[in-house]
Amino acid sequence: MSRYRGPRFKKIRRLGALPGLTSKKPNAVNSFRNQSRLGKKSQYRIRLEEKQKLRFHYGLTERQLLKYVRIAGKAKGPTGRVLLQLLEMRLDNILFRLGMASTIPQARQLVNHRHVFVNGRVVDIPSYRCKPRDFITPRNEQKSRALIRNYLDSSTHEELPKHLTLYPLQCKGLVNQIIDSKWVGLKINELLVVEYYSRQT
C-alpha cells in the first residue's frame, strides 16, 4: 500500500488531530457527529484506527510501519514504546518537531531535495535514524537556509520536547537523547497498534 496522498482533512475528521499530516484540527461537533453515525466500534476497528493514526501522522506506507513493528518486537523493552521511539527519531520527524518544517510531508521534501545536513553532511533519506549528539542544520546554500528560516519564523509548535534543543538564530537543532514516550507528538495507544499486528499473523 502506497503512502497516502489524498484529502488530509478527511483523515483527521475520522481519526482526530494528526499534527504530522496537517496543522488543521477537526471541528469537535463534526467529529462527534461522525462518531455517532458510526455507532459502537468493534475492538478490531478501535485497534485499526490507532494503527491508522500512527501511519498517517508519520506518513508511512503499510509496509514501512509493519517493518518498524517487527524491528521494535526484536528490541529490548516494551514493543510499543520502542516503536514510538523509532518513529520519533526519524530525520523527517525530528525536523518537524524542531519547527524546521510545518508538517512531516514538508520535512520529507526538504530531506529528499538535499536541503538538510546532519553533522555537516547531506542526508537525503527521510527515514534516517537520528542519534544523540546529532546536529541538524540547513545545507550551506541560500535557498536551503531561506526555506528552513521561513518555516521556523512561521512555526506555531508547542513546547519543544526535552530530547531536542533548537538554536533558532543559527537555524540549528540538536538531538540530546532518545525521546521519552511522554514527549511523543501524537495522542496514541501504542499497545493497540501492537495488538493489531499481533492478531494479523
What are the tens digits of pLDDT across the range 18-33? 777 776 665 543 444 4
Q: Identify the pLDDT of residue 157.
A: 60
Residue 177's nearest CA partner among 106, 92, 88 is: 88
Mean pLDDT over residues 112-116, rounded? 96
Contacts of 80 (CB under 8 A, 6+ apart): 72, 190, 191, 193, 194
Each residue's pLDDT tens digit, 116-168: 999 999 999 999 999 999 999 999 888 999 999 998 988 766 678 999 999 99
Homologous superfamily in CATH for domain 90-177: RNA-binding S4 domain (3.10.290.10)
Grid cell digits, residue 67:
517493518
Q: What gap in Å lies between CA 47 and CA 70, rounded to an integer?
A: 17
pLDDT digits (tens, 9 = 90+) for 39-79: 578 899 999 999 999 999 999 999 999 999 999 999 999 99
> Could you state, in order of their start, the residue ranges of all structural domains in the chain?
8-86+186-198, 90-177
Distance between CA 128 and CA 94 in Å, rounded?
Answer: 10
Phi then psi dihedrals of residue 22, to 5 deg: -160, 150
Residue 60's pLDDT is what?
93
* CATH code, 8-86+186-198: 1.10.1050.10
Helix (H) or strand (E) holding 69: helix 62-74
Any residues with CB less than 8 A from the CB of 176 and at least 6 apart, and which? 132, 133, 162, 163, 164, 165
